[in-house]
């Protein structure tokens, strides 16, 4: 694939990042998707919209999140200076709320009164339910039945926040099935409903607008780094499910070609076992949930269920911009197994006194390998995109410990 | 281009002064042999056009009935190439009944648009409806179809605006499929009067016959819809016969049950002669 004129020019007017992205939705949804695009273009230029979201990020979410020098982690690996972008300190405990706020404000601009969302780990569901409570909007969250079972604390949080939880038992009852059901609901209630997609995927303009709302992570990290070190980092790194926290960190650095962009996919029990969630490393291009991107699929184009210890990474696809960044070579994509992620989880907890979510534990677990490729005087930023409170039960179970 | 099977069929139906019965079954549900017999039963009992469902793991636009039909078919191991082989077998001794393959984009994309177009033409497929391939995204498929007589059947819905219908009509052929209700397949039924205007506009702008589907299950509903449409699509009601026969432990009865429903529906449509 040819190198584009600028990395930041995408998506094009068709919603494409190179050959990926697009708007692969049923005709019933097309008018709404086009309307959303118009509304988003207008909102981006509206100072009132921008100042409202800025105020909420600052005073409701708690932004900017700190950029923390993980001293003991840096010493442990003996390589570059490691910084954590502390998005786990956000209200609701993860980066998800950055995007939810933006989308719910858009929904209100469009006069929609009912919000739907899909959720895997429950972080996006909790964030959406939280913002809906804040603005008095009806909120319906679709969640795979398997995930409802393994993420009980978040299910309870959403209920307390006034959201209706719809357990989805079709398919394997995980994130992709929840997304199918959310799309079915949207098609049925298109007149009054806004679909808040949780990751940088789906039909255009979702990958673009989710990326833009999450880019607050990378913009802050960039200016904090300039302030602290007076220079750009040499590498930025994040875990990838759909890829919203990663693209939010990457995008403000995308034109700075000296900065390595490193994503870490969940390889579950190992790519060779077929039980994983590494769409870029173990999938092929295809069409699902509104976009063309890398997907886990059979030789007949049927979607394969993903597997990851982390419910938030348990998805057979990936945001289309990551597919593009992979094929052009602008970003690197590594993998991490369930077992390695558990080790990363424990390492960070012991060395830094920060209990990470299992999602960023995948990035933490690959820090050692990445550090080996870097010099001592270099700098790496890793996005600590979520905190681990929600995962303590499943981690205890995997470690054979009783709570 | 010589007159396509689809055009010829609408000419015939129009000459008879009635609306066409467009029936849907899922290929390979519960197995390909039963599907073949069901196709024959549909044709023998008055189905004018047959939509053959190709299963997909993630049918976002389908309600529970067709979701489960797809799962049964996938469980039986049905592949896209099997669906084409089933069409080809039917086409061997039926040269007239239009066959429309209906499904989702990914299996077709995965096979390759060019390879699929060649195989579909060879199998005697007359058109396709790929639900998640809107006009904005079907350009490559249409290029592949241009070498054959395969129609891209487009969908119009109650949310399709005046401005948008032109986009939907551009490059469409065969007929337009008007989705009567905003929702998934098998969901609530529409009042024909509520969609009359949308259907007329779709027909006027496209110059194509317009078939109405979603929520039509009985002869009575089909007859009512025939007042405004050139064809009436029935899907979930046929598929439900597969499920109930399987649950009753009588899979052998599937073709006859499907045939009986086709007879009831086509009888109801025959009574709507408008001339």
pLDDT tens digits in sequence order for chain A, 403 residues long: 555 578 989 999 999 999 999 999 999 999 999 999 999 999 999 999 999 999 999 999 999 999 999 999 999 999 999 999 999 999 999 999 999 999 999 999 999 999 999 998 899 999 999 999 999 999 999 999 988 987 888 999 999 999 999 999 887 788 899 999 999 999 999 999 999 999 999 999 999 999 999 999 999 999 999 999 999 999 999 999 999 999 999 999 999 999 999 999 999 999 999 999 999 999 999 999 999 999 999 999 999 999 999 988 989 999 999 999 999 999 999 999 999 999 999 999 999 999 999 999 999 999 999 999 999 999 999 999 999 998 998 899 999 998 8
Which of A26, A30, A300 minimises the CB distance to B61? Answer: A26
| Separation of alpha carbons B82 and B71, rounded Å | 15
Taking contacts as CB-CB distances below 8 angstroms, the residues of chain B near A22 are 136-137
Tell me: the pLDDT tens digits for A138-187? Answer: 999 999 998 898 788 899 999 999 999 999 988 778 889 999 999 999 99
Inter-chain residue contact B136 with A14, CB threshold 8 Å: yes
Which DSSP state fits A58? I
Last residue of a domain, one of A175, A209, A243: A209
The pair phi, psi for residue A121, each rounded to 5°, is -70, -20
Residues in A 152-171 with any Cβ partner in B closer than 8 A: 170-171
Nearest C-alpha neighbor of B241 from the set B61, B71, B82, B35? B35
pLDDT digit string, tens, across residues B120-152: 999 999 999 999 999 999 999 999 999 998 999
Q: Strand A114-119: give its sheet, edge to edge.
A: A164-168, A138-144, A114-119, A193-196
Query: Under the phi-then-psi rule, with left for phi > 0, alpha for psi from -120 to 50, and beta for the rest, what region is A204?
Result: beta
Q: Is residue A316 part of a domain?
A: yes
Of A22, A288, A301, the CB nearest to B80: A301
Rounded CA-CA distance B247/B60 in Å is 25
CATH of the domain at B177: 3.20.20.70
> Looking at the 3D structure of chain A, how many domains does it have?
2
Q: Is B262 within the bounds of a domain?
A: yes
Which residues of chain B lie closer than 8 angstroms to A294, CB-CB? none
Contact flag B132-A25 (C-beta cutoff 8 Å): yes
Average pLDDT over chain A reads 95
Domain boundary (A209, A229, A246) is at A209
Does a structural domain hold residue B91?
A: yes
Q: Are residues A395 and A262 in the same domain?
A: yes
Helix ranges (DSSP H) in A274-357? 279-282, 320-328, 338-352
The CATH number that applies at residue A113 is 3.40.50.1100
* Set of chain A residues whose Cβ sits within 8 Å of the Cβ of B131: 26
Across the interface, which of B67, B80, B155 has its CB nearest the CB of A27? B155
Q: Are residues A111 and A229 in the same domain?
A: no
- The verdict on residue A7 lying in a domain is no
CB contact under 8 A, B134 and A301: no
Do A182 and A220 share a domain, yes or no? no
Residue A15 lies in a domain: no
Task: Report the alpha-carbon angle B6-B8-B13, nearest 5.
Answer: 95
Residues A159 and A293 in one domain: no
- Of A209, A237, A271, the last residue of a domain is A209
**How many CB atoms within 10 Å of residue A113?**
12
Question: How far is residue A364 from each of residues A145, A240, A252, B53, measured CA to CA in Å?
Answer: 29, 12, 22, 46
CB contact under 8 Å between B164 and A297, yes or no, is no
Q: What is the pairing mode between strands A67-69 and A114-119?
A: unpaired
Co-location of A77 and A135 in the same domain: no
Burial of A353 (0-12, 13-18, 19+ CB in 10 A): exposed
Active site residues of B: 51, 62
ipTM: 0.96
Collapsing DSSP states into helix, strand and coil, what is residue A402? Answer: coil
Q: Is-contact A142 A116, C-beta < 8 A?
A: yes
- Write out the residue range of the structural domain in which residue B227 sits: 5-270
Do the Cβ atoms of A184 and B108 come within 8 Å? no
Q: Answer whether residue B25 is part of any domain.
A: yes
Distance between CA A218 and CA A236 in Å, rounded?
A: 9
The count of structural domains within chain B is 1
| Closest C-alpha to A8, from A201, A251, A210 | A251
Contact between chains at B61 and A14 (C-beta distance less than 8 A): no
The beta-strand segments (E) located in A45-182 are 67-69, 81-85, 114-119, 138-144, 164-168
Q: Tens digit of pLDDT for each residue in A344-377?
A: 999 999 999 999 999 999 999 999 999 999 999 9
How many angstroms separate the CA of residue A135 from the nearest CA in chain B?
27
**Looking at the domain assignment, is residue A112 inside a domain?**
yes
Task: List B residues 119-178 in contact with A (Cβ-Cβ < 8 A).
Answer: 131-134, 136-137, 154-161, 164, 168
With an 8 Å Cβ cutoff, are A26 and B74 in contact? Answer: no
- Does residue A239 lie in a domain region? yes
Q: Is A193 found in the same domain as A227?
A: no
A399 to chain B, any CB pair closer than 8 A? The answer is: no
Chain B: residue whose CA lies nearest to A287: B106
Shared domain for A271 and A327, answered yes or no, is yes
Domain of A386 in residue numbering reads as: 63-93+215-399
């Amino acid at each position: 694939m040819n190198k584009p004129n600028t990395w930041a020019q995408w998506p094009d007017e068709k919603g494409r990042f190179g050959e990926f992205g697009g708007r692969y939705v049923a005709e019933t949804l097309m008018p709404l998707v086009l309307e959303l695009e118009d509304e988003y273009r207008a909102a981006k230029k509206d100072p009132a919209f921008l100042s409202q979201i800025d105020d909420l990020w600052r005073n409701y979410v708690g932004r900017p999140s700190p950029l923390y020098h993980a001293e003991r982690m840096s010493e442990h690996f003996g390589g570059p200076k490691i910084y954590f972008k502390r998005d786990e300190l956000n209200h609701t405990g993860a980066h998800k709320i950055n995007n939810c706020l933006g989308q719910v404000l858009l929904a209100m601009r469009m006069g929609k009164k009912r919000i739907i969302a899909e959720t895997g780990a429950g972080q996006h569901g909790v964030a959406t339910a939280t913002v809906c409570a804040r603005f008095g909007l009806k909120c319906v969250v679709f969640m795979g039945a398997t995930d409802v079972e393994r993420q009980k604390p978040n299910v309870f949080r959403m209920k307390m926040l006034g959201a209706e939880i719809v357990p989805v038992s079709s398919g394997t009852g995980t994130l992709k099935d929840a997304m199918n059901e959310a799309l079915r609901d949207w098609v049925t209630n298109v007149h009054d409903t806004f679909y808040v997609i949780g990751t940088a995927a789906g039909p255009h303009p979702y990958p673009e607008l989710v990326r833009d709302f999450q880019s607050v992570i990378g913009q802050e990290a960039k200016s904090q780094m300039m302030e602290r070190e007076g220079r750009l980092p040499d590498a930025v790194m994040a875990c990838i499910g759909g890829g919203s926290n990663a693209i939010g960190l990457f995008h403000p650095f995308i034109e700075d070609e000296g900065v390595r962009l490193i994503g870490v996919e969940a390889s579950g029990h190992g790519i060779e076992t077929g039980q994983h969630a590494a769409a870029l490393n173990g999938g092929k291009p295809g069409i699902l949930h509104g976009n063309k991107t890398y997907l886990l699929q059979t030789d007949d184009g049927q979607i394969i269920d993903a597997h990851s210890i982390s419910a938030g990474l348990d998805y057979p696809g990936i945001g289309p911009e990551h597919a593009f960044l992979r094929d052009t070579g602008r970003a690197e994509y590594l993998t991490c197994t369930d077992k390695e992620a558990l080790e990363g989880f424990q390492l960070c907890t012991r060395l830094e006194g920060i209990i990470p979510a299992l999602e960023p534990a995948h990035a933490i677990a690959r820090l050692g390998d990445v550090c080996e490729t870097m010099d001592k005087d270099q700098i790496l930023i890793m996005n600590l995109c979520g905190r681990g409170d929600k995962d303590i039960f499943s981690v205890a179970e995997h470690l054979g410990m009783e709570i | 281009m010589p007159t396509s099977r689809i055009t010829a069929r609408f000419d015939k139906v129009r000459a008879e002064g009635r609306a066409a019965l467009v029936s849907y079954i899922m290929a390979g549900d519960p197995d390909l042999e039963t599907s073949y017999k069901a196709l024959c039963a549909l044709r023998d009992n008055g189905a004018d056009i047959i939509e053959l469902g190709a299963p997909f793991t993630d049918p976002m636009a389908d309600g529970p009935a067709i979701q489960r039909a797809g799962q049964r078919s996938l469980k039986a191991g049905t592949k896209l190439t099997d669906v084409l082989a089933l069409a080809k077998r039917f086409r061997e001794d039926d040269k007239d009944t239009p066959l429309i393959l209906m499904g989702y984009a990914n299996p077709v994309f995965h096979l390759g648009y060019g390879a699929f177009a060649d195989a579909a033409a060879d199998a005697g497929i007359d058109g396709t409806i790929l639900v998640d391939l809107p006009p904005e995204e079907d350009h490559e498929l249409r290029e592949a179809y241009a070498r054959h007589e395969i129609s891209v059947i487009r969908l119009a819905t109650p949310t399709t605006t005046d401005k948008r219908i032109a986009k939907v009509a551009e490059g469409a052929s065969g007929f337009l499929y008007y989705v009567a209700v905003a929702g998934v397949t098998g969901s609530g039924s529409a009042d024909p009067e509520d969609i009359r205007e949308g259907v007329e506009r779709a027909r006027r702008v496209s110059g194509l016959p317009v078939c109405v589907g979603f929520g039509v299950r009985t002869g009575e509903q089909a007859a009512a819809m025939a007042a405004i449409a050139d064809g009436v699509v029935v899907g979930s009601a046929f598929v439900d016969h597969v499920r109930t026969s399987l649950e009753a432990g009588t899979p052998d009865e599937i073709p006859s049950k499907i045939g009986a429903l086709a007879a009831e529906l086509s009888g109801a449509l025959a009574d709507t002669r408008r001339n």
